[in-house]
Amino acid sequence: MPERAHEGHYLGFDFGLARIGVAVGESITGGARGVTTLQAQQGAPDWDEVAALIDHWRPLALVVGTPPQHADGTESAVARAADRFARRLAGRFTVPVHRTGEAMTSQAARQRLHDTGRPARGRQDKHRIDSAAAALILEHWFAEGGIA
């Protein structure tokens, strides 16, 4: 059996200006799970926390969800900030960084949590929703054939 060069962990990020959901996934299964949510100040996380996650998981690549464009085709401020976050990841770490479109992942994550019997209720569950959304982003990237 040939060796699978791309087997291993990947980290996915659901970017937000106040919080950034993080998930880990495996290319062999195409599945992912939320691991944490980072606090951010105008989209800037504590980079030491990001470094600790990368050191712990030793991912083959990082995947950042990018919000869709406005209906008129222009890029939103959050999309520009997500792109800046992806560029900063690439500049700080020696891990490939990929972008993938994300739309409605927070709503889908909320539904997934509900379907698994762990519904998200109120403000205290925003962190669970963010990390679950990051898992959906990573799973979408795997499904689209995005393997580094």
Instruction: Indicate which CATH number applies to the domain containing 70.
Output: 3.30.420.140
pLDDT in tens, 69-97: 666 777 788 889 999 999 999 999 999 99
Q: How many CA atoms lie within 13 A of 4 on its CB side?
A: 10
Whether 117 has a pLDDT exceeding 80, the answer reads: no
Per-residue exposure over 35-62, b if at least 16 CB sit within 10 Å of its own CB, e if not: bebbebeebebeeeebeebbeebebbbb
Give residue 54's domain range.
Answer: 9-143
* Reported confidence tier of residue 4, pLDDT bands at 50, 70, 90: very low
pLDDT in tens, 33-59: 999 999 999 889 999 999 999 999 999
User: Is position 113 within any domain?
Assistant: yes
User: Is position 1 within any domain?
Assistant: no
User: Is position 25 within any domain?
Assistant: yes
User: Is position 77 within any domain?
Assistant: yes
User: Is position 148 within any domain?
Assistant: no
User: Is position 73 within any domain?
Assistant: yes
Please tell me whether residue 144 adopts helix, strand or coil conformation. Answer: coil
Task: Give the integer Cα–Cα distance in Å for 98 and 147.
Answer: 10
User: Is position 107 within any domain?
Assistant: yes
User: Is position 82 within any domain?
Assistant: yes
Please state the domain count of the chain: 1
